Structure 1
Amino acid sequence: MPDCVKCSVVGADLLNNARLNKGTAFTNEERSEFGLHGLLPSNVQTIDQQIERAYDQFKQESKSALRQNAFLNGLHFQNEVLFYKLLETHITEMLPIIYTPTEGKAIELYSKIFQRPEGCFLSIDQPLDTLEETMKRCAKQDHITYIVCSDGEEILGIGDQGVGGISISTAKSNLLVLCAGLHPHKILSVGLDCGTNNQDLLNDNTYLGLKKKRVRGKQYDEFIKAFVNSAKNAFPNVTIHFEDFGISNARRVLNEYREELCCFNDDIQGTGAVTLAAILAALHISKCKLKDSKIVIFGAGTAGTGIADAIVDAMIHDQSSKQDAISRIWLVDKQGVLYDDMSDDLTPAQKPYARDASEGKDDMKSLSDVIKKIKPNILIGCSTKKDSFDQNVCEQMAENHERPIILPLSNPTKLCEAEPKDVMKWTKGKALVATGSPYPPVENNDDNKIVISECNNALVYPGIALACILSKSSKLSNKMLYAAAVALAELSPAKEDESKGLLPDVEHVRSVSTHVAVAIIKQSVEEGLSKNENIPKGEDIKEWVEKNQWSPEYKKLVKE
């Protein structure tokens, strides 16, 4: 009985089981069979009626986004299917509540507003040989195919949040279910508690994590290694998603394990792929080629170097040499353009992009100087330095190129390099713009409204996750990431109408994720990385992917 679910619990225990609970939607037959008469009002309702009620309750909390976040979390603990169906129905409105920016505030207050645990808590102080059993216990005997983990060091632009980092893992997991149809019972959200350097948390009596400075060095590396090995042993073919690790560990950990198993860092690879997609869509309009472009990236941290790597891989795909591709990218950080005589201060990710110090650094002390001398056609902001793309910078971009590509990606909005309306005003409507946070449409000079796309990782990483799971890929290759970016760019509304966004609206994220997943699966098969022999060929792949996606629908319960 494929549309039925076996159930061994009855009565109040069933109503308290979020995975099985239907609330007022239990049929009279189910109420009789599972001892629910008297525990529910007599009127049997549809899920649509339940959504109407839940949405009204959500709107009643409209004065506080944090209270709306708490309401949705409460619904998740009560009725899993209804939670995801409500989000699916109102995705554009609710995405900022269950993820950035509201989830960031909830994470900051994690220990103060804590009510009940969710996910798997692993501590660097626990015996390493207990990690596997701990994860199995938290997985509730489910066949886990995807793990989202965070050590909480660099959360959503708000820094070290210690044990509160578990909530970024659970938030990402919820988006994987919502956006790509991953089965909620096959994802494990993991918090890796390694201490915290956030003194406010260490001084807080309510703080729930380890009350110690963040552990680094050999002990940290041994903990991560034990975690990865335990995950592989407990859940064969699992994909591990590293989220919001600090700059000193994010790329290092990814590089350590990406050849060993299928793993992914959204801050590096997801940001790179979605930004590359926006660039490819914009280049289609500007009639420029990527391999002929000059790119300035303002902010050379995890995101900035991840974007640079994605661009280099794309240029190599277009027959550029790696050396030539790197030469077309200028990384600018707090010390200015990165040069090779700064090597002691550069991270391993930054060093390949360091310019020859003989290029004339004295001429490029400010971002404006860089734009004036380099004349880039693409300017990307990952600096969290508000208003750094000022009028002078934007006017120079428009003076140098007919359709400059300007991407102020820092979020939240209070940290954005420029307001889209200002960019459009200063470039006289010439700029092609996408941002890291949602913005309303901007009126252009001809009174047309220009849609400003949000360069949201949620447009790409759910599809990547879905593809890794279904293909059973042994690793996530650079070519698979490039395939994801190209697939997303193919869906650009601006290709048909330049007033539309460079990227699809998040409202369509489910179909976007399917499209992205299909492209990645094909690439995995082509490279010989897929271990799934049941993948169909040709056009049948999309239908096969859709059949393997989970949807929030009530199933008939039958006694086990």
Structure 2
Amino acid sequence: MGIQERNEKLFYRVLQDDIERLLPVVYTPTVGLACTQYGHIFRRPKGLFISISDRGHIRSVVNNWPENDVKAVVVTDGERILGLGDLGVYGMGIPVGKLCLYTACAGIHPHKCLPVCIDVGTDNTSLLKDPFYMGLYQKRDRSPAYDDLIDEFMEAITDRYGQNTLIQFEDFGNHNAFRFLRKYREKYCTFNDDIQGTAAVALAGLLAAQKATGKPIAEHKVLFLGAGEAALGIANLIVMAMVENGVPVEDARRRIWMYDKHGLVRQGREEKVDSNQEPFAHPAPDSIPHSFEEAVTLLKPSAIIGVAGAGRLFTPSVLQKMAAINDRPIIFALSNPTAKAECTAEEAYTLTEGRCLFASGSPFDVVTLPDGRSFKAGQGNNAYIFPGVALAVILSSVRHISDRVFLEAAKALSEQLSPPDLAQGRLYPPLSHIREVSVCIAVRVMEFLYANGMAFHYPEPPEKEPYVRSKVWTSQYDSFVPDVYQWPRNAPS
């Protein structure tokens, strides 16, 4: 980040040239560690901090940002940072890291990106005792003033930068994430990456898996470990994909189960089922499982997807049961950072005898089995989705972003997977190709947006791919050394 402060173009050139190795440093999993220590490593602000004390004059705070042509904003309130919980203003590392990827992965100009952290306090008692904590020393404000603050923030951003400004919500608590998505999606150009971006990358993995199994997505039974915003976002997009393949919506929902900290999400259980979870709260099975392993035994899923952020809950016996039930079990351990992953790639491949189709949220090294077979786990990283979607949205001047956009993005990503990648065990293309992947997603999404009357940039570019490529910011250096062979013959030496 010191390089970014001194020489921005060099920073992005270095990042792009070795993105597969450096992405885990700029983003997951290192960004999680950076957020936990943010006040201790802080040197200078990289984004805009807005506190609840600023209520009533947020527009003047936004006016202080020096850039006049912002196209993309990533905002967090720090309540649920990755799988680490409430980190308050230390969560600023997430918007900063996300917007680095907007530029590195999709060529969105860095000066058109604005990271924002909303400070309403924190319920993390250790931070409230931390002398280096940079935020308000108070419990998180959950009064109507919080909603008023977010309303005022949304109005201030669009008032200064325009109604088409993309506002990405990031790492809000589950309740607020769904609430704000419903509240703002028809009023502003906004999406929630934890709900929609995660959904698209997970669905892309399932679509890629069907190339290996030959089993269409409509025939899968999916069991989630976790029932928060990531699980519900993925589940709803899977339902949308199944419906597109001719499955009635109720039948599609019945193929999806969830298991949270209170047990199986089902009708009539003592613990409250959130209104967002109700479509996936089915009548209780014959016997009620008392552990995730029992749920696997009882429901016999073809895929398990971990998004609970609770650590190693895909135990050896769970993995072995999945291998016994399925010829090619699908195992997605998507929780971040690495310490929160449900299992490692080595555990998954070893305990399923190399038959599983595995994806993780954080990177894992190549796994070599005793018989000599090697597998490279696909990383189900949202960076495959949100930069390309953001690029398409910005170039198309979209006013509202529908879930169909993320369905198209998921399909476009799955189509980027080559047969050699699949043979290696990958469900996603190599991260070294991510700039090209983002361009392909942007082109596919733009075609969808214009075809469905959602784009407001006119005239419509007749050829989308050359248009997208002409608009991306590049970190290539211009050469100021003329080609000696082009000099006039009589030029002085």
* Alpha-carbon offset, residue 425 of structure 1: 2.0
CA contact (8 A) 1:493 1:502 kept: no
1:450-469 alignment runs, 5 A limit: 450-469=375-394
Q: Deviations over 1:305-362 (max 9, x none)?
A: 11111111111111222111111000011121101213762223222211113x3343
Equivalent residue runs for 1:161-240 within 5 Å: 161-236=87-162, 237-240=164-167
CA contact 1:260–1:475 (8 Å) conserved in 2: yes
| Inter-partner Cα distance in structure 1 for 2:271 and 2:322 | 32
Partner Cα separation in structure 2 for residue 508 and residue 491 of structure 1: 10
Cα distance change, pair 385–209 in 1 and its aligned pair in 2 (3 A): closer
Deviations 1:71-96 (A, max 9, x none): xx111111111111111122122111
What is aligned with 1:545?
A: 468
Tell me the equivalent position of 1:40. Answer: none
| Matched-pair contact (CA < 8 Å) for 1:439–1:452 | yes
The equivalent of 2:436 in structure 1 is 511
Match of 2:70 among 144, 153, 156: 144
CA distance in 1, matches of 2:40, 2:319: 43
Contact 2:242 2:252 in 1 (8 A): yes
- Mapped to 1, the partners of 2:265 and 2:59 lie a distance apart of 43
2:260 equivalent in structure 1: 333
State the alpha-carbon separation in 2 of the partners of residues 248 and 497 from structure 1. 37
Preserved contact between residue 162 and residue 195 of structure 1 (Cα < 8 Å): yes
What is the correspondence of 1:214-293 to structure 2 with a 5 Å cutoff? 214-236=140-162, 237-293=164-220
Q: 1:99 aligns with which of 21, 24, 27?
A: 27
Structure 2 residue aligned with 1:114:
42
Paired residue type of 1:95: L
CA distance in 1, matches of 2:27, 2:243: 34
Residue pair 1:428, 1:445 contacting (<8 A) in 2 also: no
Kindly indicate whether residue 410 of structure 2 is the aligned counterpart of residue 410 of structure 1. no
Q: Are 1:310 and 2:237 an aligned pair? A: yes
Aligned residues: 479
Does the 8 Å contact 1:150/1:243 carry over to 2?
A: yes
Query: Displacement, 1:133?
Result: 2.6
State the alpha-carbon separation in 2 of the partners of residues 326 and 299 from structure 1: 16
Task: Give runs of ≥4 in structure 1 deviating > 4 Å.
Answer: 494-497, 554-557
Moved more, 508-517 or 422-431: 422-431
What's the CA shift for 1:149? Answer: 0.6
Give % identity. Answer: 37
How far apart, in 2, do the equivalents of 1:188 and 1:521 lie?
23
Structure with bigger gyration radius: 1
TM-score, scaled relative to structure 2: 0.93
Aligned AA for 2:474? S
Structure 2 Cα separation of the partners of residues 384 and 239 of structure 1: 28
Alignment of 1:349 with 2:297, yes or no, is no
Q: Using a 3 Å threshold, how does the CA distance of structure 1 residues 489 and 464 change in structure 2: closer, same or farther?
A: same
Find the counterpart in structure 2 of residue 13 from structure 1: none
Alpha-carbon displacement from aligned partner over 1:443-496 (angstroms, at most 9, x marks no partner)? 246422112111111111111111110111121111111000000000113476
Unaligned 5+ runs, structure 2: 481-493
| 1:387 Cα deviation from its structure 2 partner | 2.9
Render the CA deviation track for 1:172-222: whole Å, top value 9, x for unaligned. Answer: 111111110001111111111111111111112222211111111311111
Q: Structure 1 residues 211-220 or 104-113, which shifts more?
A: 104-113
2: CA distance, partners of 1:191 / 1:388: 32
1:513-536 Cα distance to aligned partner (Å, 9 max, x none): 001111111111122110012332
Distance 1:343 1:136 in 2: 49
Aligned to 2:294: 369
CA distance change for structure 1 residues 270 and 161 in 2, over 3 Å: closer, same or farther?
same
Alpha-carbon separation, structure 1, partners of 2:420 and 2:146: 47
